[in-house]
Amino acid sequence: IYAKLDADVRVRLDKEVQTLIQQNPNLF
């Protein structure tokens, strides 16, 4: 259960980071 949850959180964070990079390319 924890492994699946961790993977879910990781995927969600990855998508959020990609969105942030797209919105604010200057920060990276």
Q: Kindly provide the b/e burial profile for residues 1-28, where b requires at least 16 CB atoms within 10 angstroms of the residue's own CB.
A: eeeeeeeeeeeeeeeeeeeeeeeeeeee
pLDDT of residue 7: 92
CB 27 within 8 A of CB 20: yes
What residue type is assigned to position 18 of the chain?
Q
Q: What pLDDT, on the 0 to 100 scale, is given for residue 25?
A: 82
- Tell me, what's the pLDDT at 28? 62
How high is the pLDDT of residue 15?
A: 97
Domain count, the chain: 1
Domain of 26 in residue numbering reads as 1-28
- Residues in the chain where the model's pLDDT stays below 70: 1, 27-28
CA distance 12 to 20: 12
Q: Does the pTM exceed 0.85?
A: no
The span from the CA of 18 to the CA of 28, in Å, is: 11
